[in-house]
Structure 1
C-alpha cells in the first residue's frame, strides 16, 4: 500500500505556482497583497498568485515582474491553467488579503493599496467570468493561506485572529 503525501508548494511574494491534487498551495505575508486561487475542482488542478500591486502600467521599470501585478498575473495564471487542461467554464476563484496595514490621516487613494488590490483582482476575475466562490479580504491583519486541492478549501490563518476555512 502506498501512502500519498501532500506536498506543500510555497508561493512567494509577487510569485505564482500551480499544483494538482493531493498537493497544497501556500503563501504567507499577505498584508495589503492578495492571494488569488483559481481552480478547476473536477480536475483537481489549481494555481495561486500572490498579487502585490493592482496595475502594472504604474511601473516605470523595463524589466517588469508580471507576477507582481493583478492585471498581468491573473491573465498569466488563467491562461496557464487552460493550457494545463482546465476548462474555462469550470474555473472558480477564492481570494484573501488586501488588508490596510497602516492607518493614514490622508485621503490619498494611492495609500489604500490593499483595497485597490482587492478591487483590481475582482475586476479582472469578472472580466474572465470566473466567479469568486469565497473571500476573506480587507481588515488590518496579515494572513497566511493554504489551498487544499483535494477539498478545495482555503485555510486562512490571520494574525492574532486564529484560523478559518472558506
Structure 2
C-alpha cells in the first residue's frame, strides 16, 4: 500500500507500505530498521519554530523527528538502530524584496543533518539542495528510497 505525505505529515509503518511525497524546499527524513522492516518518513516545511509548550507539529523538523522517534520507541525500536536518509532542501525561490537570497531549503537540509547527528542516528545517504523539486518513494520492505530530481532554472 502506498501512503502519500503532504507537507507537515509523517508516517510510521511496516514492510507492507511505500511512502511517497513531493519536495521543494521541504525536507524528508526517512528512518529504516533493517531487521524489523519498520520505517518512518517525514515531510517537514521549516527546521524549527522554537520550543513551545504546544503540541508537537509535523511541519517542523525538530518536532517531527521527536514524533517519529516516539512512535518507533512504542514499537520497541531504538532510533539509533535505524538508518537515516535525507532528501529535499531545493532552492525554489529567487530573491526577497531586500535582494537577499531566500535559503529555506538549505536551512532545512542542514537542520536535518544536525538533528540526526544530535540523536546519534547514522545517515546512510542524502540527496539535498540544488534547484527544483524531488519526487521521493520509500519502500519499507527493502529500505530503498528512490529520488527523482527535476531541476528548474530560477528567474
Q: Structure 2: where are the runs of 5+ without partners?
A: none
User: Hey, what does 1:73 align to over in structure 2?
Assistant: 64
Within a 5 Å distance, the mapping from 1:1-166 to structure 2 comes to 7-28=1-22, 30-57=23-50, 66-104=57-95, 106-107=99-100, 111-159=102-150
Distance 2:50 2:125 in 1: 28
Distance 1:34 1:67 in 2: 11
Q: Structure 1: where are the runs of 5+ without partners?
A: 1-6, 162-166
> How far is 1:33 from its partner?
0.2
TM superposition outliers: structure 1 runs of 4+ over 4 Å: 62-65
Where is the helix percentage greater, Structure 1 or Structure 2? Answer: 1
Task: Return the TM-score normalized by structure 1.
Answer: 0.82
Alpha-carbon displacement from aligned partner over 1:74-131 (angstroms, at most 9, x marks no partner): 11111211111223441110111000112227346xx210000011111111111001
The DSSP-based 3-state class of the residue aligned with 1:99 is coil
- The answer (yes or no) to whether the contact 1:38–1:78 under 8 Å persists in 2 is no
Question: Please, what is the CA RMSD of the aligned residues?
Answer: 2.2
Task: Return the TM-score normalized by structure 2.
Answer: 0.87
Distance 2:51 2:145 in 1: 31
Change (3 A) 1:12 1:65: farther
- The answer (yes or no) to whether the contact 1:16–1:50 under 8 Å persists in 2 is yes
> How far is 1:23 from its partner?
1.4
> How far is 1:147 from its partner?
0.6
> How far is 1:65 from its partner?
6.2
> How far is 1:160 from its partner?
5.4
The alignment covers a number of residue pairs equal to 150
